């Protein structure tokens, strides 16, 4: 095996005699090329690693670790560390150690090719060529390096002096601007570029040295002020002075600035740039706002002290006056503070109240005061009138809420409505509410083209009950009859007490045809007649406060009218149904009769 390897290396060795000098020449040429292009470090790397490869290849064919050429390794490592950096020197050192170890093992195992039997003159020529190439390359590199180093030193010296002077000047300007909280800027109108001073960058919360365009600046202006700033700038471009106070956004913080600028003109009279100053007036604005807040808070508390007052921010309560604490049934203010407003609003009114809060924050016009339902801490419902106002509280936006308890008034209104529209005995709609429902039914019928029906019924054999057992027994029967009527109709239908023992049932949303509508009405009428004809078992109290049960049988007579839309007046429909009911009475009672006019008209 070793013999085969040596034979193979023998052929390569013959080629190396010619290729070796060519490799060195190509390495030198490549290094010179990169050096002439100003890529000094790359040139040094090419030369260092190229020479290392050439040295290693030559050593393989000229004696391994005994080859004279390996003495160049230390020189190459030292030059690489000096000309490039220590890391490259360490890499070459590691490679050299690995190569030396490899040469040693190869020679030990007999894997190295035999040394070339070259003529003395040829060997001397190779060595001289290597020396000359190495010397020329080193001289060239050193001169280039020293020349560049001299230029860099001179430029560095000049730059250092200029930088020192500029830094001193800028430092004084920065100190002056920082003390006054006034920054400066220059705007290139044609190039649309803003150059900002350090203080201006600080005011806007930008890294020092940040540039911007006009559009970039507008994006940092508060949306509510953006339009005014743009209009003022356009007027300035037409010749007006630019002196404007507005808000800017620094992250999530709003700051106030005052901008003043003047234009610079080119030789042709056109504006080519503008120079301006930016003054941070946030503290002044905050002081003004704090004064206004204090005055507003004082006025608000004085004006609304009799009412319940809450102040909340983004749905969290941050203030409650004593009246509010009492209204919501809280032990103290701490029980309400930091509590979400959503927990104090009835679920049915929560969405409407949430939208009002958003409108107040967005300064959208809303109804000043609205009725709503709130919840006490114990869960009971209270009817209130609520009014919200946007204020500044402790330096931040908030909502001032005035709450007026109208539960007593609401209860009274409900009682009045109950008395006005409902029968006190049966709790059914009375004649007034029936008339309103009848008008609504006619409007719906006109829109849908569906028939409706009015059933007018009177209890038969009712008067003897009152005569024998008193009005208390009659009232019990009427209440029971009302419950039976409600069980016979749909929720969309209306059952009303017309007076005495007379009831009216309004059936809506029947069919579009008269015949099927008549069938539907008849089914309901017969259901009612059968239900109300069942015996009534009444528990009547005696004078001795005892209770005795009375069973009474009572039938009914009913008149029915079919109608559609506003073909007839509501009073006429009631009159026709009443007439049909009397026809049922005359026919022997306990029956249902349709008004003939409704059959004729359809």
Tracing tokens 């705007």 back to the chain, one arrives at 187
Q: Is the pTM of this model over 0.75?
A: no
DSSP string across 337-403: TT-BGGGGB-HHHHHHHHHHHHHHHTT----S-EEEEEE-TTS-EEEEEEEEEEEEETTEEEEEEEE
Pairing relation of β-strands 253-265 and 242-250?
antiparallel
Sheet order of strands, 242-250 included: 211-212, 193-196, 182-188, 271-280, 253-265, 242-250
Domains of the chain: 2-150 (no CATH), 181-280 (3.30.450.20), 303-410 (3.30.450.20), 422-601 (3.30.70.270)
* Lookup: tokens for 481: 């009859």
User: Which residues contact residue 33 at a Cβ distance below 8 angstroms, ignoring those fewer than 6 apart?
Assistant: 43
Token pair 């080519």 in the structure block, residue: 272
User: What pLDDT does 4 receive?
Assistant: 44
Unique residue bearing structure tokens 């234009």 = 263
Cα-based distances in Å from 336 to 316, 327, 574: 9, 11, 56
Quote the DSSP letter at residue 336: T
Q: What pLDDT is attached to residue 337?
A: 84
Q: Determine which helix (DSSP H) or strand (DSSP E) holds 447, and give its type and residue range.
A: helix 431-448
Given a contact cutoff of 8 angstroms between Cβ atoms, the answer to whether 184 and 201 are in contact is no
Is the Cβ–Cβ distance between 529 and 558 less than 8 Å?
yes
Q: What is the DSSP letter of 221?
A: B
Whole-angstrom distance, CA of residue 83 vs CA of residue 40 = 9
**Token reading at 273:** 């740039």
Number of Cβ within 10 Å of residue 40's Cβ equals 17
DSSP, collapsed to helix, strand or coil, labels residue 422 as strand
Block mean pLDDT (10 aa), the chain, length 602: 46 54 72 72 77 79 74 76 78 84 81 64 59 59 61 67 59 52 76 80 81 82 87 79 84 85 65 77 79 66 70 87 86 84 90 88 82 90 88 83 82 71 86 88 89 92 83 88 92 89 91 90 92 88 77 90 85 91 89 72 40
Query: What distance lies between CA 269 and its chain's CA centroid?
Result: 49
pLDDT of residue 598: 43
The pLDDT value recorded for residue 278 is 82
Looking at residue 487, its pLDDT comes to: 93
Alpha-carbon distance of 19 to 473, in angstroms, equals: 134
Contact of 503 with 497, CB cutoff 8 Å: yes
Residue 41 to residue 241: CA distance in whole angstroms: 56
Dihedral in degrees, nearest 10, Cα atoms 467, 473, 477, 480: 180
HEC string of 262-284 equals: EEEECCCCCEEEEEEEEEECHHH
Q: Where are the alpha helices (DSSP H) in 460-513?
A: 463-469, 471-488
- Using DSSP, state whether 294 is helix, strand or coil: helix
- pLDDT for 123 equals 56
Closest CA to 452 of 422, 490, 498: 490
Q: Which of 549, 495, 551, 498 is nearest to 527 (CA)?
A: 495
What does the DSSP 8-state code read for residue 62?
T
Name, in order, each residue with C-beta under 8 angstroms of 537's C-beta and a sequence gap of 6 or more: 549, 550, 551
Contact 308, 403 (CB under 8 A): yes
């Amino acid at each position: 095996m070793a013999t085969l390897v040596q034979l193979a290396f023998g052929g390569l060795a013959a080629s190396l005699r010619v290729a070796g000098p060519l490799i060195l020449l190509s390495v030198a040429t490549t290094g010179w090329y990169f050096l002439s292009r100003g890529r000094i470090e790359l040139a040094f790397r090419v030369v260092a690693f190229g020479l290392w490869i050439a040295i290693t290849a030559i050593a393989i064919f000229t004696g391994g670790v005994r080859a004279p050429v390996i003495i160049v390794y230390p020189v190459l490592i030292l030059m690489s560390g000096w000309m490039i950096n220590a890391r490259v020197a360490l890499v070459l050192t590691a490679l050299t150690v690995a190569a030396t170890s490899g040469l040693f093992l190869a020679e030990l195992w007999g894997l190295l090719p035999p040394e070339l039997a070259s003529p003395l003159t040829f060997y001397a020529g190779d060595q001289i060529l290597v020396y000359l190439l190495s010397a020329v390359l080193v001289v060239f590199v050193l001169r280039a390096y020293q020349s560049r180093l001299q230029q860099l030193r001179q430029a560095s010296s000049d730059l250092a002096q200029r930088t020192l002077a500029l830094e001193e000047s800028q430092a004084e300007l920065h100190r002056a601007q920082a003390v006054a909280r006034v920054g400066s800027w220059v705007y290139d109108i044609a190039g649309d570029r803003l150059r900002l001073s350090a203080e201006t960058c600080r005011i806007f919360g930008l890294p020092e040295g940040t540039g911007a365009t006009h559009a970039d600046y507008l994006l940092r202006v508060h949306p509510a002020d953006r339009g005014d700033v743009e209009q003022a700038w356009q007027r300035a471009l037409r010749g007006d002075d630019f002196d404007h106070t507005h808000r800017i956004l620094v992250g999530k913080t709003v700051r106030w600035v005052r901008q003043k600028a003047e234009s610079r003109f080119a030789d042709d009279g056109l504006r080519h740039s503008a120079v301006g100053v930016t003054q941070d007036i946030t503290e002044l604005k905050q002081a003004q706002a704090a004064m206004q807040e204090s005055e507003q808070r004082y006025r608000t508390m004085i004006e609304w002290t009799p009412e319940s007052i809450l102040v909340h921010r983004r749905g969290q309560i941050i203030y409650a006056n004593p009246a509010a604490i009492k209204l919501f049934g809280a032990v103290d203010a701490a029980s309400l503070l930091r509590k979400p407003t959503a927990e104090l609003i009835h679920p049915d009114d929560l969405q409407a109240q949430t939208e009002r809060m958003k409108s107040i924050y967005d300064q959208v016009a809303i109804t000043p005061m609205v009725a709503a339902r709130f919840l006490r801490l114990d869960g009971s419902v209270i009817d209130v009138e609520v009014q919200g106002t946007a204020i500044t509280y402790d330096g931040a936006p908030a909502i001032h809420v005035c709450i007026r308890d109208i539960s007593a008034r609401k209860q009274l209104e409900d009682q009045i409505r109950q008395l006005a529209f409902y029968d006190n005995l049966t709790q059914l709609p009375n004649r007034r509410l029936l008339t309103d429902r009848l008008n609504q039914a006619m409007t719906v019928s006109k829109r849908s083209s569906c028939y409706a029906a009015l059933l007018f019924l009177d209890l038969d054999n009712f008067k003897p009950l009152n005569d024998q057992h008193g009005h208390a027994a009659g009232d019990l029967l009427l209440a029971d009859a009302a419950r039976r009527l409600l069980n016979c109709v749909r929720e969309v239908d209306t059952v009303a007490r017309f007076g005495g023992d007379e009831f009216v049932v309004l059936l809506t949303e029947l069919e579009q045809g008269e015949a099927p509508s008549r069938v539907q009405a008849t089914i309901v009428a017969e259901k009612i007649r059968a239900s109300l004809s069942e015996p009534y078992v009444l528990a009547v109290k005696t004078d001795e406060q005892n209770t005795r049960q009375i069973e009474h049988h009572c039938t009914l007579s009913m008149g029915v009218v079919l109608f559609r839309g506003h073909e007839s007046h509501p009073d006429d429909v009631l009159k026709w149904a009443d007439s049909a009911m009397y026809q049922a009475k005359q026919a022997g009672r306990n029956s249902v009769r349709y008004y003939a006019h409704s059959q004729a008209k359809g």
